[in-house]
Amino acid sequence: MLMLMPSASPAYLTWLASAWDGRGLVLILTGAGVSAESGIPTFRGEEGYWRIGSRNYFPEELATRAAFERMPDHIWGWYLYRRSVCRAAEPNTAHRAIAQLEQRLTAAGRAEQFLLVTQNVDGLHLRAGNSLERTYQIHGNIDYMRPFHDRDARIFPLPQALGETWERGQPIGAAERALLVAPSDGSPARPHVLWFDEAYDEERFRFESTLRAIERATLVIVVGTSGSTNLPTQVVTRAFRRGIPFVVINREPSPFSELAERAEHGHYIEAAAGETLPSLLDAVAAASDHERT
Ligand code: APR
């Protein structure tokens, strides 16, 4: 007779069961690695945008307010190209697993247990089904623009007339320049992203809300980020210092994985997001179900 033996649980499920009791806020923090399996290059990985550079500049020099002031057409062209890469991509298993967790918790009346904080501007979490309310896009969204002058924090979708495809290096012409203006006052618009020479704020990037959320978190799941930016670093170091259970999923070690390995309640999973998140988040949903029944 064929006996079906239960397969051994991966180490992270054992860790989760011992580290988290199913109650409280689950904060998921994502970076470019979560979209890598959708074919969007990361920034600092081997094929990363920052390593490749553009014709004459390194992208880290391009992603600044100062660069936009000097050469707005060039910067717009670079963002429109990156946006066309994002628009051609589809959400992957990892995005879908995160969206399903929010949907499961919401259906059970426990939406307040879920928060997603993403550095990604690609919009794939929203396209996978996460809600805008519970998705803090702390570096913006490449499908949107806002006035360059900064007196107005409103954001606007990029005009449909621009289309969705843009070749690398394709020049901006008068027609595009006329479209890339703020609908509110006709002033020149800029991509709705956070640049290297700018600071986080609440209105556009949910800075204080993110810091408040970490104070409430009882489980932090960090996925696919090299740990190179300020707010994510604050999130993870606070989790570490406060002894909040946190798990880091990454294909390679990072400052965050080192912290996870040093933490009493930390765990590092060296793997791809798409391989790991479905079973991990299934276990998170099951643990919170179990807690309420
Ligand atoms: N699964 C999990 N992790 C992955 C995967 C994958 N399939 N593929 C790559 N990674 C990891 C890489 O090992 C790397 O550590 O994802 C990480 C991506 O790091 P970065 O390219 O630095 O991206 P990110 O951390 O999101 O960058 C932060 O910096 O450039 C700015 O504003 C930009 O939002 C961006 C921010």
Tell me: do 77 and 101 sit in the same domain.
no
Our count of domains for the chain comes to 2
The rounded distance, in Å, linking the Cα atoms of 103 and 109 is 10
> Of 159, 174, 193, which residue sits at a domain end?
193
Evaluate whether 26 touches 245 at the Cβ level (below 8 Å): no
Q: Residue 144: phi, psi to the nearest 5?
A: -125, 160
Ligand 1 mean position, distance from CA 189 (Å): 27
DSSP line for 159-175: PGGG-S---TTPPP-HH
CATH code of the domain in which 152 resides: 3.30.1600.10
53 Cα: distance to centroid of ligand 1 (angstroms): 16
Ligand 1 interacting residues, C-beta cut-off 6 A: 31-33, 36-37, 42-45, 48, 50, 119, 139, 224-226, 228-229, 249-252, 254, 272-273
Largest CA distance in the chain: 75
Q: Is 267 a catalytic residue?
A: no
Task: Note whether 61 and 174 are same-domain residues.
Answer: yes
Does residue 4 fall inside a structural domain?
A: no
Q: Examine the domain organization and report whether 225 and 263 are in the same domain.
A: yes
Question: Do 263 and 227 have their domain in common?
Answer: yes
116 within 8 A of 102, measured Cβ to Cβ: yes
Domain identity same for 210 and 187:
no
Instruction: Tell me, yes or no, whether 253 lies in a domain.
Output: yes
The domain in which residue 184 lies consists of 41-88+142-193
CA separation for the pair 203, 207 (Å, rounded): 8
Model-level pTM? 0.95
Query: Residue 36's pLDDT is what?
Result: 96
Mutate to test the pocket of ligand 1, among 34, 44, 236, 277 (most ligand atoms within 8 A of CB): 44
Helices (H), 57-92: 59-62, 65-70, 72-88
Q: Going residue by residue through the chain (293 aa), what tens digit of pLDDT does each one get?
A: 444 444 568 899 999 999 999 999 999 999 999 999 999 988 876 656 655 444 456 777 789 999 999 999 999 999 999 999 999 999 999 999 999 999 999 999 999 999 999 999 999 999 999 999 999 999 999 999 999 998 888 999 999 999 999 998 899 999 999 999 999 999 999 999 999 999 999 999 999 999 999 999 999 999 999 999 999 999 999 999 999 999 999 999 999 999 999 999 999 999 999 999 999 999 999 999 876 55
Conformational region of residue 169, where left means phi above 0, alpha means psi within -120 to 50, and beta covers everything else:
left
Considering the candidates 74, 95, 125, 139, report the single residue annotated as catalytic: 139
